[in-house]
Amino acid sequence: MNTRNPDLNTRATAARQEGNFESRFRKLLEAAPDAILEVNPEGQITLLNEAAEKIFGYSRGELLGVNVENLVPAAMRGGHSQHRASYAGHPKTRPMGTGLELQGQRKDGSLFPVEISLSPNWIEGSLHVIASVRDITERKLVEDRIRAIHEQYTAELTAKNEQLEARSLEAEQANRLKNEFLASMSHELRTPLHTIIGFSELLTEQLEGPLNEKQNRFVGHILQDARHLLELINEVLDISKIESGRLELKRETFDFSHCVEEVLAGIHHHAANKKITLENKNRFQNALWADRLRVKEILYNLLSNAVKFTPEGGKVWIESADDGNLLDVSICDTGVGIPEAEQSLIFDKFYQAGDSRKATREGTGLGLAITKHLVELHGGHISVVSRPGHGSRFKVSFPLAHAPAIS
Amino acid sequence: MKRILIVDDKATSRELLHTVLERQGYAVSEAANGQEALEKVRAESPDLVLLDLQMPILNGYEVLGELRNDAAYATLPVIALTASAMQGDREKALAAGFTGYLAKPVALSHLREEIQRLLGPGNAANAGAIS
């Protein structure tokens, strides 16, 4: 009843007066899309709606009075009468065969999936059962389709995963082989260099007897070039370590100014040979938290380049500035300088300075590429300012990171 | 005189190290592989072993393992010598129980310092011109 709208109430009353209540209820049942059947205690169908005729393919006349088991697949009929008996023991409204795949059988013998809900209906003391039967063929189809799609998707995903796994395994293996190759290559190249450098050194010490001036110079050449060869091998190893991401920094806290002095001492001999003045204008006296050996390598690479590209009598110096967050280290020279067009290329792998820089091509062309990588591994940045004929200034900026507190 | 055993499968490397260390005033003997190294350690009881890591038959790590398992050589100074220069090699060697680590090519000055650090100076009479 609608208490808010007296109009609707009036109309309802009118409708009741118009039609017979029972016939309206019948229409309600007939309009239901599910088959609705009433079955008496003997199992005979006593009532059915239109949907029941349609779903099972029988006419009303063919079904009335017939045992309901005719609508059950032949194979299940025996069990069905037992289920009916047990339902009589607990007559409650409930779905039938929960969790089971129920099927109905049409007149033509074909089977179809159903969902059945049962309700007791006591008529004059005897238990009738109302069965509401839903044909779920469509739903099953959709479900099957969804399941199929899901299975296909899962299978594709599994296949893709397997592919990816196989590929990453391949890559891993290729990487491992490359690393093994590098390791053994490095070993094989260093082993003879060990004796070449060692015996050359022994000879220059002249402990086994004096060398004349020429012999001494020759041995010096062997020693110098053997050391150069060792540097090249180290560079090739370094770049491959960098490229495979295996180069890890070993940060420590160290005295930066001491580190600068060490590098300058190492480069002093080269500079003196070319009568180049080497100046230390570093002002940063604090500790740096970085990979000490790699920082030395960065400075050494830049300083030896500066000496290499500065003519006799020139000047090479290192200076620094810091603002508490960033340490800027500049390596400057009065050398040949770098044409602007080349400045963006010099940090590329294998790029070598052209003839314009009037220096012999030597080295791997990896020095600056490695230097840049090492700076960037420290979270830093490298740049160059240069004017041909006036020298170059390579600036390295290191973030002033601190060692993590030891917990 | 302090005795040093050089273990390296390469004869030229042995000769180099032998020459340098003998001049420094140590008594030097050689072994060409790990098996021979173990025999010589037991026969000669050297004061220090310079042990190449990559050798056929028994490698340096295996030789060290044998030595460290023997109470008589648990503290014998053993320096790893290797031409491998991969990251972490030194840490690996020191963790395995080597007393020191030298990478080939080794600078002679560095070699001398390291040996002297562990053994003290060699016999001056035999050291010749070495300062």
Question: Any bridge partners for residue A392, and if so which?
Answer: A386
Our CA-based measurement puts residue A327 at a distance from the nearest CA of chain B, in whole angstroms, of 27
B102 to chain A, closest Cα gap in Å: 11
Distance CA B102, CA A232 (A): 20
Residues 6+ away with beta carbon under 8 Å from A193 = A226, A229, A230, A233, B104, B105
Inside any domain, residue A27: no
Is A324 found in the same domain as A231? no
Q: Do A194 and B105 touch (CB under 8 A)?
A: yes
Q: Which domain holds residue A72?
A: 32-135
Q: Are residues A268 and A388 both part of a single domain?
A: yes
SS3 state of residue A112: strand
Q: Residue A121's beta-bridge partner residues?
A: A128
pLDDT for residue B78 is more than 90: yes
Q: Does B6 contact chain A (CB < 8 Å)?
A: no
Same domain, A354 and A287: yes
Whether B104 and A193 lie within 8 Å, measured CB to CB: yes
A283-303 pLDDT per residue, tens: 999 889 999 989 999 999 999
Q: Is the peptide bond before B105 cis (omega within 30 degrees of 0)?
A: yes
A241 vs chain B: nearest CA distance in angstroms? 9
Instruction: Read off the amino acid at residue A200.
Output: S
**Chain A residues with CB-CB distance to B85 below 8 A:** 186-187, 190, 234, 237
- Pairwise CB contact (< 8 Å): B13 & A237: no
Residue A19 located in a structural domain: no
pLDDT at site A106: 94
CATH of the domain at A92: 3.30.450.20
For chain A, give the mean pLDDT. Answer: 87
- The Cα A257–Cα A192 span in angstroms is 36
Q: Which amino acid is at A128?
A: H
* Distance separating alpha carbons of residues B68 and B70, to the nearest angstrom: 5
Which domains does chain B carry?
3-127 (3.40.50.2300)
Query: What number is the average pLDDT over the span A185-212?
Result: 93
pLDDT score recorded for residue A357: 47
What are the φ/ψ torsions at residue A105 (nearest 5 degrees)? Answer: -125, 125
Placement of tokens 């790699």 in the chain:
A294
State which of A135, A151, A176 marks the end of a domain. A135
Which pair of tokens denotes residue A87?
């339902």
Residues A199 and A336 in one domain: no
For A226, name the nearest residue in chain B, comparing CA atoms only: B105
- Quick check: helix, strand or coil at residue A339? coil
pLDDT score at A9: 65
d(CA B116, CA B102): 14
Residue B17 has pLDDT above 60, yes or no: yes
What percent of chain B is predicted at pLDDT more than 70?
93
Contact A1, A12 (CB under 8 A): yes
The answer on A38 and A161 residing in a single domain is no
pLDDT at A380 over 50: yes
CB atoms within 10 A of CB A172: 10
Q: Judge: A193–B106 Cβ closer than 8 Å, yes or no.
A: no
Q: Is B32 in the A-facing interface, judged by CB distances under 8 Å?
A: no
**Distance in Å, alpha carbon of B77 to nearest chain A alpha carbon:** 22
What are the pLDDT digits (tens) for B84-93?
Answer: 877 678 889 9
Same domain, A351 and A287: yes
Looking at the complex, does the CB of residue B45 fall below 8 Å from at least one CB of chain A? no
User: For the domain that residue A328 is a member of, what is the CATH number?
Assistant: 3.30.565.10
Q: Are residues A236 and A256 in the same domain?
A: no
Interface A-B: count of C-beta contacts within 8 A:
67
> Average pLDDT of chain B?
90
Distance between CA atoms of residues A221 and A219, nearest Å? 5
How much is the ipTM here? Answer: 0.89
User: What SS3 string covers B98-115?
Assistant: CCEEEECCCCHHHHHHHH
Domain membership of residue A9 (yes or no) is no
- Same domain? For A280 and A388 the reply is yes
Q: Would you say residue B129 has pLDDT above 50?
A: no
Higher pLDDT residue, A16 or B78?
A: B78
Alpha-carbon gap, residue A316 to A334, rounded angstroms: 7
Interface contact flag, B105 A248, Cβ < 8 Å: no
Assess whether A235 and A186 both reside in one domain: yes
Q: Which of B16, B86, B107 sits opposite A195 (nearest CB)?
A: B16
Same domain flag for A83 and A116: yes
Q: Name every chain B residue with its beta carbon within 8 A of the beta carbon of A241.
A: 87
What is the count of structural domains for chain A? 3
Which one of A93-107, A131-145, A168-182, A335-349 scores highest in mean pLDDT? A131-145
Question: Is B130 in Cβ contact with A202 (below 8 Å)?
Answer: no
* Boundary (domain end) residue, out of A243, A268, A293: A243
Question: Which range has the worst mean pLDDT, A53-62, A145-154, A354-363, A378-387?
Answer: A354-363
